[in-house]
Amino acid sequence: MEEPTTNHYREGQEGEERDPESNNTLQSPLLLKRNRTLSTNHLAIIGTKVSHIESLDYEINENDLFKHDWRSRSREQVLQYVFMKWILALIVGLLTGVIASLINLAIENIAGFKLLAVAKFIKEERNFEGFLYFTGANLALTAFASILVVCFAPTAAGPGIPEIKAYLNGVDTPNMYGASTLIVKIFGSIGAVSAGLDLGKEGPLVHIGACLASLLGQGGPDNYRVKWRWMRYFNNDRDRRDLITCGAASGVCAAFRSPIGGVLFALEEVATWWRSALLWRTFFSTAVVVVVLRAFMEYCGSGDCGLFGQGGLIMFDVSSVTVTYHAMDLLPVVIIGVIGGVLGSLYNYLLHKVLRVYNLINEKGRGHKLLLSLAVSIFTSVCLYCLPFFAHCSPCDPSLPDSACPTNGRTGNFKQFNCPAGYYNDLASLLHTTNDDAVRNIFSTSTPTEFHPVSLLVFFGVYCILGLITFGIAVPSGLFLPIILMGSAYGRLLGMAMGPYTRIDQGLFSVLGAASLMAGSMRMTVSLCVIFLELTNNLLLLPITMLVLLISKTVGDAFNPSIYEIILHLKGLPFLDANPEPWMRTLTVAELADAKSPVITLCGVEKVSRIVEVLQNTTHNGFPVVDQGTVPPIGLPDGASELHGIILRAHLVAVLRKKWFLKEKRRTEDWEVRKVFTSIDLAERGFKIDEVLVTKDEMEMYVDLHPLTNTTPFTVLESLSVAKAMVLFRSVGLRHMLIVPKYQLTGVSPVVGILTRQDLLAHNILNAFPDIKSKERGKKGKQITLEVSQQQNGNISSHEA
Amino acid sequence: MEEPTTNHYREGQEGEERDPESNNTLQSPLLLKRNRTLSTNHLAIIGTKVSHIESLDYEINENDLFKHDWRSRSREQVLQYVFMKWILALIVGLLTGVIASLINLAIENIAGFKLLAVAKFIKEERNFEGFLYFTGANLALTAFASILVVCFAPTAAGPGIPEIKAYLNGVDTPNMYGASTLIVKIFGSIGAVSAGLDLGKEGPLVHIGACLASLLGQGGPDNYRVKWRWMRYFNNDRDRRDLITCGAASGVCAAFRSPIGGVLFALEEVATWWRSALLWRTFFSTAVVVVVLRAFMEYCGSGDCGLFGQGGLIMFDVSSVTVTYHAMDLLPVVIIGVIGGVLGSLYNYLLHKVLRVYNLINEKGRGHKLLLSLAVSIFTSVCLYCLPFFAHCSPCDPSLPDSACPTNGRTGNFKQFNCPAGYYNDLASLLHTTNDDAVRNIFSTSTPTEFHPVSLLVFFGVYCILGLITFGIAVPSGLFLPIILMGSAYGRLLGMAMGPYTRIDQGLFSVLGAASLMAGSMRMTVSLCVIFLELTNNLLLLPITMLVLLISKTVGDAFNPSIYEIILHLKGLPFLDANPEPWMRTLTVAELADAKSPVITLCGVEKVSRIVEVLQNTTHNGFPVVDQGTVPPIGLPDGASELHGIILRAHLVAVLRKKWFLKEKRRTEDWEVRKVFTSIDLAERGFKIDEVLVTKDEMEMYVDLHPLTNTTPFTVLESLSVAKAMVLFRSVGLRHMLIVPKYQLTGVSPVVGILTRQDLLAHNILNAFPDIKSKERGKKGKQITLEVSQQQNGNISSHEA
């Protein structure tokens, strides 16, 4: 055993981080006018350095082994596979439903007991003790959630939706779907939401669904996988992608009890590829989730679940309200939409700034992350506890029954708080309660005089601040609820202001406000519309909701991209957009390849030492296999070179690990490779070249790469425009794309270059071609908003993009 | 002027129809073991021979002119384009909504007056006169619709949905979206539905929406186009595709008053490609439709619309029903689903047989088509009029108000018909009414004793027969309503049978039965679920509907493909499926290309005579442009051949028409072509080579094809599997795909072959490769159900497939 290759390659590249995906990185000395940014520096916003982002292999690797396996696959095995697909979709739905129910149960009980105790303190006028109790409990819960996240699973922080979106686009974020992430996300979410922080469990539920799906697909946690025969077909990125889509849809469904909304959310916001078959399976998963939730709520309806009453799942049932709106009511609706769009994009803008500041804090280490979370918790507790003391007590509406107003329990719309009997404190109804209940209270219909405008204004202001400072801390946090809280308050305020001019109920204004702010910030339309439809249970609201969403999204789009896109860029995830930039039409892939160093190819029968050298000195994940001087088709002279295909790094490492070496330089027969490898072996990944030991003798031996080479790579002609290449790359779901020459000439290499995801990102191309960049910057076109805006912010892009 | 080329090429191919798409058709003499079918014989089921099916150019043709146009497009023009897109979506929604409302108004009034008159005859016991009146009126209305269709627009027959599906897949059916089709569809639909035939206006409304969209996109009818400057950007297949998607969604929305259902229908059932941006625009169109419909109904609610009461738009509002179902109610739901699936696939099977018989009749000429329609009309009238006389009169429920039972008017659930006062005829309530009202009556809840089981059984039987024999006649007809009628009857019957064991209302059983039969026949899930949700206005039904739909679809899929797929195959439309067949993985594109005659290429600077010859003797639509002996890249010897790109037939014809000829063989400068052509000229199509006159002198001149060649064609390596090629072809939306060699050798042609839609159809490949065909037939795998089943039916496939 000895270290076989010299290190001089490595030294030459020491200073520069390399793109793990690209075979030939953008580093031609001739064109080195660019500053490399995106591809190297993966900075996650909650401070965890995402170490090594890889692309996923969604393409089917059609090598000889696969083809043999495919031919020999019996009808029974195909049925097994189809059956397992559905069983997995069923289990994903079942587990997501059960876990969502248990999370709700835990939150309602923990938060409920906390709030009941506080109410008791206040009734006894032991206000300071109450404050200490409230703040202390919140601090402990926050600390619990934050320590879990910081110590065990940094990837569990935040909502997780951007990472899922990136995964389904073909970008693998490591440790994102592991067992530890799942467990921390569940318990962290319970802690954080119970702590009264301004965050929701909706985003985390989506992530939980995706984690469940991924773990199920691979047969369990990394170290304890079930090696069941039926499961082996699922150990590939394609099937995992489908499962994670199901999981994400189930999560949304569990969060909002909205099965169709869940499917549409997955379709509109999360997924990059979509097939009709997937629609159908996703729908099945969400149907299962709904059945589980319904059964659970029926069971708890009888009072067996402690303080978990009818609540938990947000469900703002306004079906009893008769919606009467006429042409003259259109104006307020339009106004809501416009303001929602402006506020939503403003929120995106400010959150972006806050997250960048938080990055600097979080980067300093675990202690800083924890302190930041605790500071936010204390600030939240102070706001929530103290502000209602400044509100006036309002007399109860005598038409209400005594039990309805004032209430002292955990839920209820008219909290007594510090008021005398017969009076209620409207601000306490909103602040001294769980977030879900706050939303339900603010959505309440036919109660036009319940809230004082000043109280609503205070509530709105507080939640604007909390919504900005809470999202970036190191706990599992969703974005939906903070935005709904802000939006509902602003909607109700607007409703009050418009009161004399419209017949729309204030509760509806509140719902519309929430919808408009979500559309203004998240830029979803159809899925959001369906979610609101299923939440409010009132179909008559549909046309008006559609109008508001359309206006808000349009207004928001005029200012900045959606919040998810902003987070994706902040995290440095190489997300491939659906639409190519206009300037990509005038750039060919050959020009792009020229800007990179020459492609590294392997021979069909390659020396072991060369393979080891290439693997050690590059981080590329795919190498074209080119045969020189093969026998050409009949009737033509010798000297042809042949592009045989592309081989993956993982498969090269597998060859070295199994030591499938040949003494002489020859091509092998079919049976030889099948004796050593199965297609299941090749599906295994995660081994590093550094872990492989090759002796000096073995170094001189040969490997026949032909049977392991994917002989059906996707290729593009060198004259293809980058725009079309990008469309192809994204629509088919590629990892590598080979560029073939348009010339036919002996001596020309049959592969001109290789393109990967990083090469097709607008931001990277612009950096490699300063001419285009400066021209585009001059134009300030709408299409390049984000790239340009980031670059104009100075050298921030080199930190974060 | 003279006919320049000899005809000997043509003679050689006279006997055989050629595939207009393929450059090199599958006709290698060596491999001629196949019988060519699909690509040549386009038999429409309503008898109109679909003359010449072309593929659409969804790919962006990046030639020099386009690139120049693209570069010079100002920001203002881009904004114009975006603005027009939205304006067009708005107008599509508006017009679809208005036309749908007017159709409803017309039908309700015509059918209403007819039914009132008949009721009067019966009340006066002038039964035979009533029969004559009823049959005569129906016959006249059917004749009106049928004559319109037969004489003016044969493509207006049937629902049109399969053709729209094919269009969005990339197949152009001629005359499908013209002004005459639109007008005939509108008036034909009014006639056919008023005539009491067992068909709906839902399918036609989808087609009407698509026609409107297509006409708007091209600026008006073919002969009277608006040449507005703002419209010129829309004269391409890509933008028309998007508009037609909007139109189809608007149509569904107008039919069911279901905006989200409309969007989902377009997504799930109709569209092949989908983009997030499209979701958003489609949603906008359907929102507009709903607003129009709502406004119209509000206006008519005051009674200004004649007999158009609250009806017209189907709307089965069961929101008042409290849905109480428990675990024990799951069993009947599962049974409904299973039976629905079986019945649905049986319906598909039988309809397939009936349509094939109808084909033979319709092929005989216009007279036969007309006679068939009239015969069906008479049979329908006899059934509808006479059967209620055999039903018993039932006494009215005394708890009902006198005005509700019995009714004598046009609508109403308890028709008096021939019964004495205080009694009603339940079968007349279902048969002597419009189809929409029949559905509403049968869906009625909380009326468990209203219908006698025998009456329902008779109704079910009659509509099974009518549903099978009516669809194929030469009038605009939708499939939704016949299936809903059958399904609701069977559901209610099942509900009666299960009465003692379940607490689910019979009306709900009826709704579930309709849903299950639709899922069993049309195999939609999410969209159907949303449509039913929006129809019934009851969210509590959602989980139960989902379950039924999932079961029915699964059961149905086990037997045969969806009804739309069956019709697509019957019509011979080359629809490209989403999933490649398993055996396609083992076949390479090179093998496929070998089975075809060699590809015809053109030189970069080509002689006029050669172009004329090629155009006259082939029907191909794309020709690769190859430069021989171009100057290769620096450092390499001479003699390279270069693949410059692909040129479309339409552009070659344009060159000949404009006579853009060169005296000497030279390459032109950029400005030369721009003096003669604009990219708008190139977008014009429909000119034939036969219409072009070229003199003998001109024949000896040259044309520089470089500036008109699409230099960025999509290419595949010859070793690519057919499966991957098909995925690429479909995902990117191609028309031609060039095959490049994997060898790099002087003298090898840089293009090995060319693949088109027809080459990638499983059916055509199987015919060209009898080995695979016999092997697959042996397997009888589920994946090849349709192809195999058709081939096993003897030589039917050569007629229809």
Residue of chain A nearest B317, judged by CA positions: A539
- pTM comes to 0.84
User: Which of B61, B330, B744 to probe the A interface (max A CBs under 10 A)?
Assistant: B744
3-state DSSP call for residue A78? helix
Q: What are the tens digits of pLDDT across the range B458-479?
A: 999 999 999 999 998 999 998 9
Pick the range with the lowest mean pLDDT from A215-229, A248-262, A777-791, B67-81.
A777-791
- The Cα of A700 is separated from the nearest Cα of chain B by a number of Å equal to 29
Check residue B311 and give its pLDDT.
45
Question: Rounded to 5 degrees, what angle do the CA atoms B544, B547, B550 make?
Answer: 150
Q: Which residues of A touch B585 (CB under 8 A)?
A: 60, 62, 67, 70
Decide if A60 and B263 are in contact by the 8 Å CB cutoff. Answer: no
* ipTM exceeding the 0.90 mark: no
- Spatial CA neighbour of B516 closest among B486, B474, B495, B538: B486
Residue of chain A nearest B539, judged by CA positions: A537
Check residue A44 and give its pLDDT.
35
Q: How far apart are CA B301 and CA A621, in angstroms?
A: 67
Nearest to A283 among B294, B526, B579 (CB): B526
Residue of chain A nearest B590, judged by CA positions: A712
Check residue B534 and give its pLDDT.
77
Check residue A632 and give its pLDDT.
55
Decide if B640 and A534 are in contact by the 8 Å CB cutoff. Answer: no
User: Which of B82, B545, B742 to probe the A interface (max A CBs under 10 A)?
Assistant: B742
Nearest to B585 among A67, A526, A553 (CB): A67
Decide if B550 and A525 are in contact by the 8 Å CB cutoff. Answer: no
pLDDT < 50 stretches in chain B: 1-51, 311-314, 780-801
Tell me what percent of the residues of chain A surpass a pLDDT of 70: 84
Nearest to A747 among B60, B263, B636 (CB): B636
Decide if A526 and B553 are in contact by the 8 Å CB cutoff. Answer: no
Asked whether the beta carbons of A661 and A689 are under 8 A apart, the reply is no
Check residue B52 and give its pLDDT.
57
Check residue B766 and give its pLDDT.
87
Q: Which residues of A touch B319 (CB under 8 A)?
A: 319, 539
Query: How does DSSP assign B282-305, residue by residue?
Result: HHHHHHHHHHHHHHHHHHHHTT-S
Which tokens sit at A314? 């947000």
Residue of chain A nearest B291, judged by CA positions: A543
Q: Which residues of A touch B716 (CB under 8 A)?
A: 714-715
Nearest to A719 among B294, B711, B716 (CB): B711
Q: Which residues of A touch B744 (CB under 8 A)?
A: 640-643, 741, 744-750
Check residue A219 and give its pLDDT.
80
Which tokens sit at B236? 């391409």
- Spatial CA neighbour of B508 closest among B480, B544, B463: B544
Contacts of B774 (CB under 8 A, 6+ apart): none
Q: How far apart are CA B312 and CA B105, in angstroms?
A: 7
Q: Can you tell me the mean pLDDT for A178-193?
A: 94
Check residue A317 and give its pLDDT.
57
If you ran DSSP here, which 8-state letter would residue B629 be given?
A: E
Check residue B212 and give its pLDDT.
94
Decide if B745 and A746 are in contact by the 8 Å CB cutoff. Answer: yes
If you ran DSSP here, which 8-state letter would residue A539 be given?
A: G
Tell me, which fold does domain B327-571 have in CATH? Clc chloride channel (1.10.3080)
Q: Can you tell me the mean pLDDT for A520-540?
A: 82
Q: Can you tell me the mean pLDDT for A164-183?
A: 89
User: Which superfamily is assigned to A67-301 in CATH?
Assistant: Clc chloride channel (1.10.3080.10)
- The Cα of A744 is separated from the nearest Cα of chain B by a number of Å equal to 5
Decide if B529 and A283 are in contact by the 8 Å CB cutoff. Answer: yes
Decide if B721 and A712 are in contact by the 8 Å CB cutoff. Answer: yes
Nearest to B781 among A75, A294, A712 (CB): A75
| Packing angle of the helix pair A75-123, A202-217 (nearest 10 deg) | 150
Which tokens sit at A307? 């303080």
Q: Can you tell me the mean pLDDT for A122-146?
A: 93
- The Cα of B284 is separated from the nearest Cα of chain A by a number of Å equal to 7
Query: How does DSSP assign A323-372, residue by residue?
Result: ----GGGHHHHHHHHHHHHHHHHHHHHHHHHHHHHHHHHHTT-HHHHHHH
Strand B715-717's sheet: what is its strand order? B715-717, B736-740, B753-756
- Spatial CA neighbour of B786 closest among B551, B550, B577, B584: B577
Q: How far apart are CA A264 and CA B730, in angstroms?
A: 23
Nearest to B287 among A550, A586, A724 (CB): A550
Q: How far apart are CA A393 and CA A397, in angstroms?
A: 12
Q: Which residues of B touch A719 (CB under 8 A)?
A: 644-645, 711-712
Q: Which residues of A touch B750 (CB under 8 A)?
A: 742-744
Residue of chain B nearest A68, judged by CA positions: B586
Q: Which residues of B touch A280 (CB under 8 A)?
A: 525-526, 553
Decide if B744 and A749 are in contact by the 8 Å CB cutoff. Answer: yes
State the pairing for strand pair B640-648/B622-630.
antiparallel
Residue of chain B nearest A625, judged by CA positions: B742
Decide if B714 and A713 are in contact by the 8 Å CB cutoff. Answer: no
Domains A67-301 and A327-571 share a fold: yes
Whether cis (ω within 30° of 0) applies to the bond prior to B174 is no
Decide if B747 and A553 are in contact by the 8 Å CB cutoff. Answer: no
CA A797 to chain centre: 21
CATH class of A582-772: alpha beta
Q: What are the tens digits of pLDDT across the range B716-738?
A: 998 899 999 998 898 888 889 99
Asked whether the beta carbons of B243 and B278 are under 8 A apart, the reply is no
Q: How far apart are CA B801 and CA B790, in angstroms?
A: 8
Q: What are the tens digits of pLDDT across the range A344-385?
A: 999 999 999 999 999 888 888 889 999 999 999 999 999 999
Decide if B743 and A585 are in contact by the 8 Å CB cutoff. Answer: no
Asked whether the beta carbons of B717 and A740 are under 8 A apart, the reply is yes
Nearest to B747 among A259, A529, A636 (CB): A636
Q: Which residues of B touch A70 (CB under 8 A)?
A: 582, 585-586
Decide if A546 and B742 are in contact by the 8 Å CB cutoff. Answer: no
In B153-236, where does DSSP find H-type helix?
A: 161-169, 179-194, 202-217
Check residue A775 and give its pLDDT.
79
Residue of chain A nearest B262, judged by CA positions: A526
- Domain positions in chain A: 67-301, 327-571, 582-772
Decide if B746 and A750 are in contact by the 8 Å CB cutoff. Answer: no
- Spatial CA neighbour of A790 closest among A779, A777, A771: A777
- The Cα of B71 is separated from the nearest Cα of chain A by a number of Å equal to 8
Instruction: Decide if pLDDT at A20 tops 60.
Output: no
Q: Which residues of B touch A588 (CB under 8 A)?
A: 712
Check residue A444 and give its pLDDT.
80
